[in-house]
Structure 1
Amino acid sequence: MTSPALPGLAAVLWDMDGTLVDTEPYWMAAEGELVESFGGMWTHEMALGLVGSGLEDGARVLQSAGVRMAEEQIVQWLTDRVMEGIVDGPDPFRPGARGLLRSLKDAGIPTALVTMSRRRMAEVIVDRIGFDAFDIVLGGDDVTRPKPFPDPYLQACEALGVEPAQAVAIEDSVNGLRSAVASGAVSLGVPLALSLEGVGAHELWPTLDGRDADDLRALHARHAAREERTRA
């Protein structure tokens, strides 16, 4: 039985790659394939450096690694490769993600998917959830500036009609978490490929497995109480 909503929590904002779904191996494999096709070298450490970045930023890094293609060509090529992996591969959802989305839906808490991947890829992921999980979807081609700028989360809050301080944002990457923190949302880190220690998350959880809407309400309430004490 879901308890009554605590004051303040008005929306939950989700990152996609690495947070909702574990697609990072597909991105890393596609990047390596593309760089090597031009005779370059791509290491795991180099791939980690792109986690959470805007695709255009990543394309420029790949160009510096020897890929002789225009930025948008690189972005579209990588997106196609990753989408192929998602369609042909196993269930990509991180533990607990779909269950938490179902709980938020049942509780009537609005949600937004805020990803730097292209909208067409986000829609493929959303279609695999199995129910109408998100009120809005923002792709990297919908935002003015990419993460780590706050714009993606600010645009999501504006679209939902909520103040950032009323929202919880869930992230797995350094750049994504910096974006969430800068937006003013209560920021939850659920690390996957990289440590998020010292990045500024209000809390770090090892997993979403077993979590529900009440856990996010409580997270938001804890932070709101700390803010109230700070102002007092």
Structure 2
Amino acid sequence: MNVGEHPTAQTHAHGTVLTSAPQDAPVDRATAAARRVIDAMLRTDRGNANLDRVAEELNSIADHLEEHAPEVAERLIDMWGGEGVTRHDPVTGPENAIAPPLVLAGLDDGSVQGVVTLTLPYQGPPGCVHGGVSALILDHVLGVANAWGGKAGMTAQLNVRYHRPTPLFEPLTITGKQMSVEGRKIHTVGDIKTETGDVCVSVEGLFIDAAVPRPR
């Protein structure tokens, strides 16, 4: 699916849902379990946990999954099919264990918005979100905002400003909005705010209307 298409968009109380929320499907439940493992590994007592046994069991699970995996090239194409990138990307993808995942809705004012709580896997400074993670999230949110605004493109430049540390373990509101289109140039802005409305990170993005390269 092109990021400019939303064949599965649903009406929500707070707008039109543009990305795939986790579902009660085996792959979504398995991915959620993998997120628990990632988080728990960062919190576990390294001296008391039986990590040799954990490693053995996790390797066994990985072996099982790899036995049932198609060729990488085939999987790349499949990731663009159906709902496409919204189920596999590292920000909103419910089938990607490194995604929070963030669910985004399109609002009547032309913006997109979602709320997410980030935990230890996304830490930079103690108790704070890694700056690179913030930039990753905003880059993706701006891309979805462009699709919602009617003119999608590829990232050419991001100007990211860090106003204050972004806290872990607290609801964060992520917003993006397409501001203007000048020929092939698309200008989009976004930010990350705390529950009290403080801006932690803001971004101005330049995108170029261009065909997205896809594996064949």
What TM-score comes out, normalization by structure 2 length?
0.24
Structure number, greater radius of gyration: 2
What TM-score comes out, normalization by structure 1 length?
0.22
Which structure would you say has the larger RCO, counting Cα contacts within 8 Å and 6 or more residues apart? 1
| Larger strand share, 1 or 2 | 2
